[in-house]
Amino acid sequence: MMKLYSSTTSPFVRKVLVVAHEAGCLDAIEPLAGKASPIQADMAIVATNPLGQVPTAIVDDGQALFDSRVICEYLDAQQGTGLFPAGAGRWPALTLQSLADGILDAALLARYEQVTRPETLRWEPWLEGQMGKISRALAQLELQVPAFAVQLHIGTISLACALGYLDFRFSEFAWREGHPRLADWYQTFSARPSMAQTVPQG
């Protein structure tokens, strides 16, 4: 059984759980509570991952796997699910995953700026820069929706988790405005059992 250092609010943990659900191996994952923080390391996680991040997985042979991209590909390879396409379809899927992960990286930096940094030290241009990355990515994705609309792979899973995190932590951002095709796609995709059962809590 895979052990997974997790947080109920982490979008990257959610991505792993969605992949596990779609691969039919969610029951083979034992969640371990993790308190990853940019300023206070969880030494239990650090013992296997010096970055101290979630998700961090420990597989049957004791090997540690991180980050979410590695863990997701490991699960897919173990189960033969095909969520990481082969051939020409591989590169668009991986690029979409990278774009979605980039949205999450920017969103997490913005979140840390808002709630972790002392108010007197917060830097508005930094926050605007991170949100600008997200806005540009959403504009591109709105144009790309027809290319991935009916596909299930690591790219679309990553994107759905990124949009779900924007709903969870940045509801005031109202990302659906100006992105109707992306909003329609997300409404359909988020109804999948794997998404419905992994909605962030906290």
pLDDT at 22: 98
Q: CATH number for the domain including 14?
A: 3.40.30.10
Q: Are residues 133 and 68 in the same domain?
A: no
Per-residue three-class SS string for 120-132: HHCCHHHHHHHHH
Structure tokens at 193: 């059992």
pLDDT at 175 over 80: yes
User: How far is the C-alpha of 109 from the C-alpha of 130, rounded, in Å?
Assistant: 7
pLDDT at 135 over 80: yes
Domain assignment present for residue 159? The answer is: yes
Q: Are residues 94 and 185 in the same domain?
A: yes
Domain assignment present for residue 101? The answer is: yes
pTM of the model: 0.96
Q: Are residues 159 and 111 in the same domain?
A: yes
Would you call 73 exposed, middle or buried from its count of C-beta atoms within 10 A (0-12, 13-18, 19+)? middle
Q: Tell me: the pLDDT tens digits for 15-70?
A: 999 999 999 999 999 999 888 778 888 999 999 999 999 999 999 999 999 999 99
pLDDT at 202: 75
- pLDDT (average), residues 95-106: 98
pLDDT at 171 over 90: yes
pLDDT at 128: 97
Domain assignment present for residue 199? The answer is: no
pLDDT at 62: 94
User: How far is the C-alpha of 175 from the C-alpha of 134, rounded, in Å?
Assistant: 9
- pLDDT (average), residues 186-200: 97
Q: Are residues 69 and 95 in the same domain?
A: no
Number of domains in the chain: 2
pLDDT at 39: 84
* CB environment 145-165: b (16+ within 10 A), e (fewer): beebeeebbbbbbbbbbbbbb
Q: Are residues 40 and 123 in the same domain?
A: no
The residue range of the domain holding 134 is 87-192
C-alpha triplet 33, 105, 195: angle, nearest 5°? 60
Structure tokens at 10: 């982490």
- pLDDT (average), residues 134-148: 98
Please, what is the average pLDDT of the chain? 96
Q: Are residues 94 and 147 in the same domain?
A: yes
pLDDT at 201 over 90: no
Q: CATH number for the domain including 115?
A: 1.20.1050.10
Domain assignment present for residue 69? The answer is: yes
Q: Are residues 60 and 92 in the same domain?
A: no
pLDDT at 37: 78
Q: Are residues 103 and 179 in the same domain?
A: yes
